[in-house]
Structure 1
């Protein structure tokens, strides 16, 4: 879908839009700059992405609360962007001017099972891992499974040698340490359930003990309204709230792959 030229949308999508007045793209995501899109359409898409679209009030409220708690000890904490969090932009309470600036690292590993399965890479889990990821692809990426079974795709070894595999949490630790982030660095870990669970995060939490997630910052009652919308809200919420609210103020930001969905996104806020 994202590689489609404007003629495809005019021929196939426009009639649906005229008939129903709305079109829902399932799983549609794309970076801002894509070659087949003319400049005038690119401008329109930018306007839609950054001006017309807004988070619903409940996500604005919860996102603002999350960010306020991350910055609760920072004397630089001030109003958040009202365009992004609406009426919840003002930080509650008075900041403590006697404390040092509370800076933190916003880290999105993007090592959930969907990314892991779609990558066609291997991550040291042996036969059990291969069977689990293949079963996931059969359900969630049937076209990819069909292509894998009927075509000669690059091997897992080749993909890794070319740097086309998602960074594992262990590899992310090495990258952060190499970039100079010290043990005392405070880290906010965004995203959904890491593939492999807590054991896969052992290296990260061992080297960086000051690591928190949305589950640690928000109470069960504050997260509960999103419980039935995990794929639409919780996973997207963690990344976008920090992507759009915090990464825009970053000191360090790295995207190892192109596109909206990154393998590992880092911001020092």
Structure 2
């Protein structure tokens, strides 16, 4: 029998049978192209939350809130394929960065090691389970359709000036972006005003990553660094005003939109934006607030790198606590509360209040005792030490103190140091020269405190304020890091009861704070809650074990 090699005719016939005709090859190629296009189209119109559920395992393998699923099933392998497509089409210099990759995440949580740890200490360090809630910014189709027009705006401009400390400035910037969206105007990068207390002359670009800010928001509003020179010479409609409190989108449109719709270039200047917007905005605008606060407002690279370096130095020896102690002189002046340092120091505060009425913010018709009973006074270092000890914090715990210099210096901190001797600040952690470039730069120093506090195992504020609110929401958003909010109203009778034993005090404190240690709290349970402190349910959805999104 002849071999195939010696039978050229047979070989020719086989080659023809194995080679598809040209038109079959064309239709096969067309089919593959259509399938690929369909897959990309589905991903493009998929809610951002669902995109993130596919992308997170690839983008944040080491961060706690974004845990990696198993890729053993065919479904999970398809998720990897979709994720790689998304990386190709979404994460480029010209397009919006992937949200799950842009969020400012803390260092991974530090596990508890050692066999000699008491049950009380384990309970103190134990993290809340988050109940399955994870970030999900699934903007509506209507919002996304309107974005095509809004992000191309080149005639209407909004300029804003934000003042106050760092976290107050952050809130003002969030409001500015939302107002620009409501008015469908381009936003000029906000100006940071020198505050009479903080006196920081830093510019936006020195504190925040401007390029990241623009890219993250480019699907929501057009952000420009400055007004083009051609527009500066054009006819302008400029209005400068202080906004009232609790304004709605309807109020903003009725107040400003007609003037912005005039002929030529229109420029609207606003100041005093802090906490002026209603807390009860439409769902898409609430999501935009979260997107600005937790994704777009990333600190400038030098600040970010130094903050993470200090955080790593804190966690290298184990879990740590971050305290935001509001013991500065201006806090005591504004709140009209007693310092806990004695009559001499309280008299100094009273004299300042009498000579500088511009600092006064506390209700003038309330006595000190009434303010204290209403929970309006910060906890001093003795009260904070008693609270931490009662909740099970070990004496050996590393404690990071965020905030400015306390009124009264070392004397003000002595009760806390006596109970927790491993108390440090950024000045103690930094090596020679690391903080020198930020001397007299309060916003940059506050940003470093923010980064180290975000990575802490447990965070406790001594007073409710902008930093406490920011930490509460941000820690929830990145994985429900433990956040203990002191219940000052209910604590006071126990703090002042000299007959109560330490064991009884500890039991009472644990019971009092059992439900306020980082578990998800719904914003909608109480009217006027800030979505930046309570991101559930507008900005976070409940995910099942297999990472599918279930909307509520």
Decide whether aligned partners of structure 1 residues 111 and 66 sit closer, same or farther in structure 2, where only a CA change above 3 A counts. same
CA deviation after TM superposition for structure 1 residue 174, in Å: 0.6
Decide whether aligned partners of structure 1 residues 133 and 226 sit closer, same or farther in structure 2, where only a CA change above 3 A counts. farther
Correspondence 1:200 to 2:412: yes
Correspondence 1:241 to 2:447: no
Tell me how far apart the structure 2 counterparts of residues 197 and 53 of structure 1 sit (CA, whole Å). Answer: 33
Tell me how far apart the structure 1 counterparts of residues 367 and 439 of structure 2 sit (CA, whole Å). Answer: 37
Of residues 452, 458, 467, the one that matches 1:261 is 467
Matched-pair contact (CA < 8 Å) for 1:104–1:187: yes
Of residues 114, 135, 144, the one that matches 2:352 is 135
Matched-pair contact (CA < 8 Å) for 1:5–1:36: no
The corresponding residue for 1:84 is none
CA deviation after TM superposition for structure 1 residue 111, in Å: 2.2
For normalisation by structure 1, the TM-score amounts to: 0.68
CA deviation after TM superposition for structure 1 residue 162, in Å: 2.7
The corresponding residue for 2:427 is 215
Matched-pair contact (CA < 8 Å) for 2:245–2:275: no
Matched-pair contact (CA < 8 Å) for 2:384–2:462: no
Tell me how far apart the structure 1 counterparts of residues 415 and 259 of structure 2 sit (CA, whole Å). Answer: 52
Of residues 307, 314, 320, the one that matches 1:104 is 320
Tell me how far apart the structure 2 counterparts of residues 24 and 236 of structure 1 sit (CA, whole Å). Answer: 22
CA deviation after TM superposition for structure 1 residue 132, in Å: 3.0
Unaligned runs of 5+ in 2: 1-242, 261-265, 473-481, 485-552
The corresponding residue for 2:107 is none
CA deviation after TM superposition for structure 1 residue 36, in Å: 3.8
Q: Any idea what SS the aligned residue of 2:400 has? A: strand
Matched-pair contact (CA < 8 Å) for 2:247–2:278: no
Q: 1:19-34 alignment to 2 at 5 Å? A: 19=267, 28=274
Q: Which piece of structure 1 moves more, 217-226 or 259-268?
A: 259-268
Q: 1:112-151 alignment to 2 at 5 Å? A: 112-124=328-340, 125-126=342-343, 128-132=345-349, 134-135=351-352, 139=356, 142=358, 144=360
Matched-pair contact (CA < 8 Å) for 1:105–1:188: yes
Tell me how far apart the structure 1 counterparts of residues 465 and 259 of structure 2 sit (CA, whole Å). Answer: 28
Tell me how far apart the structure 2 counterparts of residues 168 and 14 of structure 1 sit (CA, whole Å). Answer: 51
Q: Any idea what SS the aligned residue of 1:19 has? A: strand
Q: Which piece of structure 1 moves more, 48-57 or 5-14?
A: 5-14
Q: Any idea what SS the aligned residue of 1:176 has? A: helix
- The alignment's C-alpha RMSD in Å is 3.6
Aligned residues: 224
Correspondence 1:68 to 2:308: no
Cα deviation 1:217-258 (Å, max 9, x = unaligned): 10241111111212x2213431x1134x315xx3x4556765
Unaligned runs of 5+ in 1: 74-101
Tell me how far apart the structure 1 counterparts of residues 386 and 415 of structure 2 sit (CA, whole Å). Answer: 9
Matched-pair contact (CA < 8 Å) for 2:321–2:397: yes
Matched-pair contact (CA < 8 Å) for 1:105–1:267: no
Q: Any idea what SS the aligned residue of 1:184 has? A: coil
Q: Any idea what SS the aligned residue of 1:105 has? A: strand
CA deviation after TM superposition for structure 1 residue 176, in Å: 0.7
The corresponding residue for 1:5 is 247
For normalisation by structure 2, the TM-score amounts to: 0.36
Matched-pair contact (CA < 8 Å) for 2:353–2:360: no
Of residues 52, 59, 65, the one that matches 2:303 is 59
Tell me how far apart the structure 2 counterparts of residues 41 and 190 of structure 1 sit (CA, whole Å). Answer: 31
Q: Any idea what SS the aligned residue of 2:322 has? A: strand
Q: Which piece of structure 1 moves more, 215-224 or 126-135?
A: 126-135
Matched-pair contact (CA < 8 Å) for 1:192–1:234: no
CA deviation after TM superposition for structure 1 residue 160, in Å: 1.3
CA deviation after TM superposition for structure 1 residue 136, in Å: 5.8
Tell me how far apart the structure 1 counterparts of residues 423 and 417 of structure 2 sit (CA, whole Å). Answer: 7
